[in-house]
């Protein structure tokens, strides 16, 4: 499916070593069906030539604001109106600072000011520049103005540093750009998501729990609401604010999450189980705080009900998606859970890698269906959630035979 068919993408390129990836990005955007026009800053032309981008895009490349010849063709206001999306990749720290200050001192920043279209930035810079408070403050301003940020990824950088600031890969950027246009993919769909940990009380002051922060489930809730779904988030205890346009039901224990899920599932089309539910709970909850009389103590545990299995086995089951948190043989264990729990899809999460999974900002997953397997590279949970929601929406609409 060409997700960007007939879309006009204005690709802005600012000065940075990641500009070499922009050539590939033009190709990926065109593969997705987009009509691409390129605008380069003066610094970008130090890294890659306009000729390369002209050849790849099939359109003249725009480089200066005050060029009578270019203005005679497609003037800058016309160009700003032509765009369905302005994607700046790479977006340097300097470019973002100028945008945050509302500057229009070259063609690219002028277009960002003039356009009625959404603007997305793919930051690329040294990790120190990314972490600098000035850059972070600029990002906050840009986010508040509704500018989308794609990335950056973390990892080894061209300068030898390791950390956040790498531009996302071309295919990821093309997918994210496509995601911006798919925001009605779940119009009219009712969706239920479990998120966060559960707490299983031992006594009035102690409990058994796990490291789930709720970030992944909340990001899914936000992405689903952005895609037009009516979202109910059944959440264990977290520190996170409820995303806008999402109804949250707060629970503490697995039994409470089970009860809320079974009550809501009758009125939902898609159920996503992202919560890290405690598999066991203490058989007895002491009424008073347990005293430290002995050197050792034993707590008898009993099995909690399996929420996602109960939902998926229900005669009026919704389209049901589970997660699998695994530390070894991730895909084969996840596939086993897909079958055992009778799920439509399962999202396999390698939680042995401390950079992803529990209580991290990033994740990397493999989405497994009866006959399908799709890997999604490491990126922020919010970006990943958008990709997952697009995929789930598509599978829900057109289930595999």
Cα 172 to Cα 376: distance, rounded to the nearest angstrom: 9
- Binding pattern for the stretch 62-101 against ligand PMT, x by CB under 6 A and - elsewhere: ----------------------------------------
Closer of 74 and 310 to ligand PMT (Cβ): 310
Options 23-31, 156-164, 181-189, 306-314: segment touching ligand PMT (CB under 6 A): 306-314
Q: Is 169 strand, coil or helix?
A: coil
Closer of 109 and 212 to ligand PMT (Cβ): 212
Options 46-54, 240-248, 294-302, 303-311: segment touching ligand PMT (CB under 6 A): 303-311
Q: Choose, by CB under 6 A, the member of 108, 176, 268, 277 that binds ligand PMT.
A: 277
Contact between residue 312 and residue 341 where contact means Cβ atoms under 8 Å apart: yes
Count of alpha carbons within 13 angstroms of residue 100, beta-carbon side: 19
Contact between residue 236 and residue 208 where contact means Cβ atoms under 8 Å apart: no
Full DSSP string of 346-385: EEEEETTSTTBSTT-SEEEEEEE-SS-EEEEEEEEHHHHH
Cα 190 to Cα 205: distance, rounded to the nearest angstrom: 37
Residue 159 is a catalytic residue: yes
Q: Choose, by CB under 6 A, the member of 3, 172, 212, 380 that binds ligand PMT.
A: 212
Footprint (CB under 6 A) of ligand PMT, residues 330-389: 337, 349, 351, 357-359
Closer of 191 and 254 to ligand PMT (Cβ): 254
Exposure string for 21-60, b = 16+ CB within 10 A, e = fewer: bbbebbebbbebebbbbbbbbebbbebbebeebeebbeee
Q: Is the four-CA dihedral 22, 23, 24, 29 of positive or negative sign? A: positive
Q: C-alpha 326: how far from its chain's center?
A: 20
Which one of the listed residues 112, 159, 192, 268 is annotated catalytic? 159
Q: Choose, by CB under 6 A, the member of 274, 330, 388, 393 that binds ligand PMT.
A: 274
Q: Choose, by CB under 6 A, the member of 207, 323, 367, 387 that binds ligand PMT.
A: 323
Footprint (CB under 6 A) of ligand PMT, residues 13-72: none
Q: Choose, by CB under 6 A, the member of 279, 286, 336, 353 that binds ligand PMT.
A: 279
Cα 20 to Cα 11: distance, rounded to the nearest angstrom: 13
- Binding pattern for the stretch 137-176 against ligand PMT, x by CB under 6 A and - elsewhere: ----------------------------------------
The reply to whether omega before 265 is within 30° of 0 (cis) is no
Per CB under 6 A, 306 contacts ligand PMT = yes
Footprint (CB under 6 A) of ligand PMT, residues 245-264: 254
Closer of 80 and 272 to ligand PMT (Cβ): 272
Angle, vertex CA 145, rays to CA 47 and CA 168, nearest 5: 35
Cβ atoms within 10 Å, residue 144: 9
Options 99-107, 208-216, 242-250, 382-390: segment touching ligand PMT (CB under 6 A): 208-216
Q: Choose, by CB under 6 A, the member of 79, 180, 275, 385 that binds ligand PMT.
A: 275
Lookup: tokens for 154: 């973390």
Per CB under 6 A, 276 contacts ligand PMT = yes
Options 57-65, 108-116, 158-166, 213-221: segment touching ligand PMT (CB under 6 A): 213-221
Q: How far is the CB of 397 from ligand PMT (least distance, A)?
A: 22
The footprint of ligand PMT on this chain (CB under 6 A) covers a number of residues equal to 29
Count of alpha carbons within 13 angstroms of residue 263, beta-carbon side: 10
Q: C-alpha 201: how far from its chain's center?
A: 33
Lookup: tokens for 135: 């850059």
Active site residues: 159
Binding site for ligand PMT (CB under 6 A): 194, 196, 212-217, 254, 273-277, 279, 304, 306-308, 322-325, 337, 349, 351, 357-359
């Amino acid at each position: 499916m060409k997700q960007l068919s007939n879309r006009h993408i204005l690709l802005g390129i600012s000065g940075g070593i990641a500009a070499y990836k922009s050539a590939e990005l033009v190709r990926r955007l065109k593969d997705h069906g987009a009509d691409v026009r390129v605008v380069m800053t003066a610094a970008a032309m130090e890294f890659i030539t306009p000729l390369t981008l002209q050849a790849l895009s099939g359109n003249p490349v725009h480089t200066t604001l005050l060029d009578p010849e270019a203005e005679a063709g497609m003037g800058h206001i016309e160009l700003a109106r032509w765009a369905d999306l302005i994607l700046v990749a790479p977006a340097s720290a300097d470019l973002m600072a100028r945008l945050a200050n509302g500057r229009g001192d070259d063609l690219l920043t002028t277009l960002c000011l003039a356009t009625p279209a959404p603007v997305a930035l793919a930051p690329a810079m040294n990790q120190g520049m990314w972490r600098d408070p000035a850059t972070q403050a600029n990002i906050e301003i840009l986010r508040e103005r509704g500018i989308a940020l794609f990335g950056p990824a973390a990892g080894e950088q061209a300068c030898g540093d390791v950390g956040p600031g790498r531009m996302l890969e071309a295919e990821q950027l093309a997918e994210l750009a496509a995601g911006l246009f798919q925001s009605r993919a779940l119009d009219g769909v009712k969706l239920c998501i479990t998120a966060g940990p559960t707490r299983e009380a031992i006594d009035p002051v102690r409990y058994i729990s796990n490291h789930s922060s709720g970030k992944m489930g909340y990001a899914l809730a936000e992405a689903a609401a952005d895609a037009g779904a009516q979202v109910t988030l059944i959440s264990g205890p977290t520190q996170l604010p409820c995303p806008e346009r999402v109804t949250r039901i707060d629970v503490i224990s697995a039994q409470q999450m089970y009860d809320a899920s079974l009550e809501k599932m009758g009125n939902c089309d898609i159920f996503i189980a992202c919560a890290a539910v405690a598999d066991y709970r203490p058989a007895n909850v002491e009424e008073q705080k347990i005293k430290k009389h002995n050197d050792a103590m034993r707590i008898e545990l009993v099995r909690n009900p399996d929420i996602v299995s109960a939902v998926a086995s229900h005669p009026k089951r919704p389209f049901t998606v589970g997660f699998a948190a695994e530390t070894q043989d991730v895909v084969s264990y996840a596939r086993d859970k897909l079958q055992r729990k009778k799920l439509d899809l399962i999202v396999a999460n390698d939680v042995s890698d401390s950079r992803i999974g529990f209580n991290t900002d990033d994740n990397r997953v493999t989405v497994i269906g009866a006959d399908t397997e799709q890997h999604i590279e490491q990126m922020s949970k919010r970006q990943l959630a958008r990709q997952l929601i697009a995929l789930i929406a598509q599978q829900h609409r057109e289930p595999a035979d």
